[in-house]
Each structure stands twice: as structure tokens, then as C-alpha cells.
Amino acid sequence: MGSTRRHGRWLVPAESWWTGVMGKCQLDLTKAQFEAQVTTINIARAMGSVEVRVPKGFEVHLEGTSLLGSKRVRLDGPPPPPGAPVIRIRVLSGLGAVKVTDRESLRSRLRDAGF
């Protein structure tokens, strides 16, 4: 019954698991370093939302199920080049939304603008 948040500089292993009930899961991978060319992130969530922010230039695959919720990928950056690193996000979520994006957070955009 809590939230999970990971951001900043951190080493993302080739495969990881993130679980929780009745809360939010926020993973910001934009400043992370990746241990492998293909990274698999497994997320199991009940009655909560999932938000994953990915770096631009990565190939992103969203797989899995969101029961009684939504699942969406919104990538605004250019298409990844051939041979780009891959992030596989495998989700099992109930009663919540799953969102994957490469957009910077509002806080980051304001900080970069000098606010």
C-alpha cells in the first residue's frame, strides 16, 4: 500500500522485478546506465498506476496485460537507430493505468528553463 519510485543515476540490471499493491510505480530511466543491450523490466501491480520514463533513442516494447485499466506508449523522440538498445517492459496490472513515455517531466522542463 505504498509507492515505488526510482530516478536519477542508477544501474539497471538486465532483468528486474517491481511489485506492489494500491500505489504508484514510477521508474525514470533517463539518467540510468544499463547493464545489458536488452533490458527486461517486469512490473506486477494491483490497484495502482505504472509510469516508466525511457531515454530517447531506445527501442521500447510494452508487453503484458492491464485488467480494467489502460496501457499506452507515447514516444515523441526520433525512431531508434538500427542496433539501438532495447527496453522490454512486461506488465501485469489490475485496476490501473500503464504509461510509457520519453517526455521529460514538467519539473525537469521548468528546471531547464530556469525556474
pLDDT tens, position by position, 33-51: 999 999 999 999 888 888 9
Of 94, 9, 114, residue with least CA distance to 50: 94
pLDDT band at residue 1 using 50, 70 and 90 as cut-offs: low
Distance from C-alpha of 65 to C-alpha of 98, rounded to nearest angstrom: 9
pTM (predicted TM-score):
0.87
Q: Are the CB atoms for 21 and 46 separated by under 8 Å?
A: yes
pLDDT tens per residue, range 3-37: 888 989 999 999 999 988 888 889 999 999 999 99
Q: What is the dihedral angle through the alpha carbons of 32, 76, 42, 20, rounded to the nearest 10 degrees?
A: 90
Q: Are the CB atoms for 52 and 30 separated by under 8 Å?
A: no
Mean pLDDT, the chain, as a whole number?
90
What pLDDT was estimated at residue 51?
92
